[in-house]
């Protein structure tokens, strides 16, 4: 999603783009993969082999009307999943249509895994603080088998857009390393069948018993509203427990999960729904960009590392954003900067802004691991850094209705229809206009008149010599 957003925007401004995609299709997380990291179900060894963490029954948590590109809305299509909160396949189809409508297929090198991105030796300043980048890739067979290192290319800029819902963040629990029964991270969960009739502890079904663990002993005795209804609906089958204190593997206690209040259960499986961590195993910036406590930094406005801007940038690091709208704005900003239409502040000023941001978050009590959770700032970011049209009020309202409903009932919120008249009116207009726009874009592409910008390739203006950007879904410009 981020990589495609970047590719379109970079092309729009006339830059040559190569998107390196390790999978045999586009879609990223939305390319459902029934395979799992079976030999490492915890995902303890980075990087994981399987990218997508989608499980079969997933449905969106955000309404589709809030999830489109600004000029290519995520409209229901005949014969597809028309629900407001559709399943993963619908997003996959949508992204494929986006590729077709904007003629991006020829920019994407599939089955191409980026194994190293580093400044091209010797580190070359290209004026304006730019570097050239050496990108090493390896061919990946559709079955995931990796070939030997295949190619090295030099690019003028790299946009990192590799997602951050693949590499598990594992808890540290006594006895995890000696637990002999099944345990896995949610990254490796696909379908419920293997757990049927089991006793499962889920750290955060169709199993016989599910023991959800709360974040604290207090939360276990007085659960938040969003959990209350689910617990009532599944009385007996799902139980809310305090956090896990230890896992017992072997001996008389084998299979016992002990909770923080001293209670215990004998479990067949433990599933860690403990989130994901940022991971850039291919990126060698010589320590300029690091991941520390799940903070990627330093990144000016979550996008540019000041010391390596503008030739290195990131799309998709922020969380709790409207995707792909927010990614589109980031990509548009990067494209404007790389094409010389917009300037970044001097490096020192960007560094100062990053540290001010860290200080403000700390003062507001935001944990470091939530540095990139920027829900309240997204509109400001988009309007400040890009020329995207404003998010309409009715969409915000629709999103908030869904959000409030989630709090009330986690299981049924998607199927409620309690829109206000403002939302209904917005929806009518949206369907009318956006469906026509979608079809026109696809029709124009099919007839050769690709809706994307003209393909006149320009030289990034900060470069002294003719050259190229890589988007290593990852995307790059030459």
Ligand X SMILES: Cc1cc2nc3c(=O)[nH]c(=O)nc-3n(C[C@H](O)[C@H](O)[C@H](O)COP(=O)(O)OP(=O)(O)OC[C@H]3O[C@@H](n4cnc5c(N)ncnc54)[C@H](O)[C@@H]3O)c2cc1C
Site of interaction with ligand X (CB under 6 A): 1-3, 20-23, 28-30, 51, 53-54, 58, 60-62, 113-114, 161-163, 165, 282, 316, 323, 472-474
Task: For ligand X, give the closer residue by CB, 163 or 297.
Answer: 163
Torsion, CA 319, CA 324, CA 327, CA 332, rounded to 10: -160
DSSP string, 179-196: --SEEEEGGG---SGGGT
DSSP secondary structure of 107-152 = GEETTEEEEEEEEPSSP---STT---EEEEEEEE-TTS-EEEEEEE
Could you tell me the smallest distance in angstroms from the CB atom of residue 464 to ligand X? 29
If we measure between CA atoms, which residue out of 43, 90, 35, 49 comes closest to residue 67? 90
Nearer to ligand X, 179 or 399 (CB): 399
Give the Cβ contact number of residue 452 at 10 Å.
18
Nearer to ligand X, 52 or 311 (CB): 52
Q: Which among 135, 117, 159, 131 is positioned nearest to 462, based on CA atoms?
A: 131
> What residues does 108 pair with on adjacent strands?
19
Contact 277, 369 (CB under 8 A): no
Closer residue to ligand X in complex, CB, 356/411: 411
Least distance in angstroms from the C-beta of 98 to ligand X: 12
**How many Å apart are CA 421 and CA 423, to the nearest integer?**
5
**DSSP β-ladder status, 209-213 and 238-241:** parallel
Q: Which residue lies nearer to ligand X by CB, 54 or 214?
A: 54
Q: Smallest distance, Å, CB 165 to ligand X?
A: 4
Query: Shortest gap between Cβ of 431 and ligand X (angstroms)?
Result: 21
Tokens in use for 265? 């259960």
| Three-state secondary structure call for residue 8 | helix
* Cα 370 to Cα 235, 292, 294, 318, distances in angstroms: 33, 11, 8, 9
Nearer to ligand X, 2 or 386 (CB): 2
For residue 125, which of 88, 156, 103 has the smallest C-alpha distance?
156
- For the bound state, the minimum distance from the C-beta of residue 255 to ligand X, rounded and expressed in Å, comes to 28
- 23 or 463, CB closer to ligand X? 23
- Helices and strands per DSSP (H, E), number in the chain: 9, 20
Nearer residue to ligand X within complex by CB, 94 or 394: 94
Radius of gyration of the chain measured on its C-alpha atoms: 23
Token pair, residue 234, equals 């599944």
Tell me how far, at minimum, the Cβ of 60 lies from ligand X, in Å: 4
Residue among 153 and 209 whose Cβ is closer to ligand X: 153
- Phi, psi torsion values for 272, nearest 5 degrees: -95, 105
Provide, rounded to whole angstroms, the least separation between the CB of residue 315 and ligand X: 7
421 Cβ neighbours under 8 A, 6+ residues apart: none
* Closer of 92 and 462 to ligand X (Cβ): 92
Cα distance between residue 475 and residue 259, in whole Å: 46
Provide the H-helix boundaries in 339-420.
Answer: 347-363, 378-385, 393-408
CB of 332 to ligand X, least distance (A): 15
Minimum Å gap between C-beta 407 and ligand X is 16
CB of 312 to ligand X, least distance (A): 15
- Work out how close the CB of 398 gets to ligand X at its nearest, in angstroms, rounded to a whole number: 14
Q: Which is nearer to ligand X, 29 or 313 (CB)?
A: 29
């Amino acid at each position: 999603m981020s990589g495609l957003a970047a590719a379109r925007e970079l092309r729009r401004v006339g830059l040559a783009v190569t998107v390196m995609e390790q999978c045999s299709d586009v879609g990223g997380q939305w390319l459902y993969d029934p395979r799992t990291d079976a030999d490492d179900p915890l995902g303890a060894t980075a990087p994981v082999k399987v990218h997508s963490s989608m499980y079969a029954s997933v449905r969106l948590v955000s309404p589709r009307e809030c999830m489109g590109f600004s000029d290519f809305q995520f409209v229901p299509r005949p014969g597809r999943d028309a629900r407001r909160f559709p399943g993963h396949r619908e997003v996959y189809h949508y992204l494929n249509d986006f590729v077709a409508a904007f003629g991006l297929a020829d920019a994407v090198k599939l089955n191409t895994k980026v194994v190293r991105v580093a400044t091209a030796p010797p580190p070359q300043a290209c004026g304006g603080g730019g570097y050239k980048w050496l990108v090493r890739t390896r061919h990946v067979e559709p079955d995931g088998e990796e070939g030997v290192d295949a190619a090295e290319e030099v690019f003028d800029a790299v946009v990192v857009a590799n997602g951050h819902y693949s590499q598990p963040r594992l808890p540290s629990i006594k006895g995890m390393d000696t637990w002999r029964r099944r345990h896995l991270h949610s990254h490796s969960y696909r379908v419920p069948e293997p757990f049927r009739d089991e006793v499962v502890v889920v750290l955060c079904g169709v199993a016989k018993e599910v023991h959800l663990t709360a974040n604290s002993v207090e939360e276990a005795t007085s659960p938040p509203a969003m959990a209350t209804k689910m617990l009532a609906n599944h009385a007996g089958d799902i139980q809310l427990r305090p956090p896990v204190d230890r896992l017992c593997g072997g001996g008389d206690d084998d299979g016992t999960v002990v909770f923080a209040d001293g209670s215990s259960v004998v479990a067949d499986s433990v599933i860690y729904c403990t989130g994901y961590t940022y991971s850039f195993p291919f990126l060698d910036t010589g320590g300029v960009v690091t991941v520390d406590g799940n903070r990627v930094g330093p990144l000016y406005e979550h996008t540019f590392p000041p010391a390596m801007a503008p030739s290195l940038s990131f799309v998709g690091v922020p969380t709790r954003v409207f995707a792909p709208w927010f990614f589109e704005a980031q990509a548009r900003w990067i494209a404007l900067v790389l094409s010389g239409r917009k300037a970044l502040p001097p490096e020192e000023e960007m560094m100062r802004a990053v540290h001010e941001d860290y200080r403000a978050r700390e003062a507001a009590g935001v944990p470091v691991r939530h540095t990139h959770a920027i829900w309240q700032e997204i509109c400001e970011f988009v309007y400040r850094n890009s020329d995207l049209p404003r998010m309409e009020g009715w969409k915000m309202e629709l999103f908030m209705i869904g959000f409030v409903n989630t709090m009330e009932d986690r299981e049924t919120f998607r199927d409620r229809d309690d829109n206000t008249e403002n939302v209904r009116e917005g929806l009518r207009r949206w369907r009318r206009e956006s469906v026509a726009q979608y079809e026109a874009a696809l029709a124009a592409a099919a007839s050769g008149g690709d809706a994307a910008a003209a393909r006149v390739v320009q030289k990034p203006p900060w470069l002294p010599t003719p050259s190229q950007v890589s988007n290593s879904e990852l995307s790059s410009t030459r």
